[in-house]
Chains A and B, each alone.
Chain A
């Protein structure tokens, strides 16, 4: 027996010029905030942008964007609703307030199902908010989306970087393109992350200072885009736009 869903995935993604997975080996480093802000900033700059929350057991981008009472349109598949200018897809439309305890095989199935039935149409960039680690979702994204490129997030913590280093090694071994590393929540001067990232042959995209105002901006997109955090991300995008959205 053959699972027919996998053959249609590349067809569903064919009109998307760039697909970026925002990933980290470690949780709590700010992936969801960076993925959401990256998507919002690209949309603000005029790029047709999508955001796909792939953290099925612990989704959070809907809280960052303040998504409420929205459901996708069903039209020969599902069409993601447009939230603050971005096409937004999350398991939250279906799981609501309920916990979704999923094992690895279930996570793979949800991912394949959503990739097979979601009709993104034409996009300049699809940003994927990845769950932490190098487990099922990371392996599946690499297996299923041939054009995937990774943007890796770390904090200045050596503990965070230890897992990020392993993620970078894995991606290098698998010949998966890495756009670079963003260092988030920087609190003091240190060259540790930049030095190690550059020694690993990966681009150091920039640092984002720890922003005390950020928590208050969650759920309020206008306020979020005015934070120092978002300002720094906009600068990084500006400096690297040819890398992030080359076509």
Chain B
């Protein structure tokens, strides 16, 4: 149920962003979820629905899954992460800490564990939309 912790982070960040942007009611939240973390979308969506505050009452959560792409820093080979090729306990370890992939996955071409996670690591808040019922705080207001 580690999806709850990630959902909590998304709600908290979206709320802060709405505050900053002067949005009083959020209508849309776009989230990107990287495949490497293997977030269970059903649980994640349920957690979002349970954790959302009044500000999100009419919000639509749009979740896009991003394929995880890895690139070897030694030979430059680029490949896609495939969880089915890993043991269940390894999948679970990567689920909690995606960088643990470096302990278990090696470049299929040269065998190096020194690779870059090009995309598809974890959870990102892409954007929010909503109705602005009050003016966005201006920079001059802080002076």
Contact = CB atoms under 8 A, between A and B. Distances in A.
Given A95-B103, A99-B103, A113 B97 contact: yes
A102 B102 contact: yes
Interface residues of B, number: 31
Tell me whether chain B's interface is mostly helix, strand or loop, or mixed.
Answer: helix
A75 interface: yes
Interface residues of A, number: 33
Nearest to A100: B103
B131 interface: no
B104 interface: yes
B9 A116 contact: yes
Interface string B1-20: 11011101110111011000
A109 interface: yes
Interface in A42-101: 74-78, 91, 94-96, 98-101
A99 B112 CA distance: 12
A28 interface: no
A107 B99 CA distance: 8
Contacts of A99: 103, 113
A159 interface: no
A101 B6 CA distance: 25
Nearest to B47: A76
A9 to B, nearest CB: 9
Interface string B91-125: 00100111110111000000001100000011111
Nearest to A2: B125
Given A2-B13, A116-B5, A117-B5, A91 B124 contact: no
B102 A106 contact: yes
A109 B99 contact: yes
Interface of B: 1-2, 4-6, 8-10, 12-14, 16-17, 32, 93, 96-100, 102-104, 113-114, 121-126
Interface of A: 1-8, 11, 74-78, 91, 94-96, 98-103, 106-107, 109-110, 113-114, 116-117, 119
Closest 9 CB pairs of A and B: A77-B5, A76-B4, A4-B13, A98-B103, A94-B93, A4-B9, A8-B9, A117-B5, A100-B103
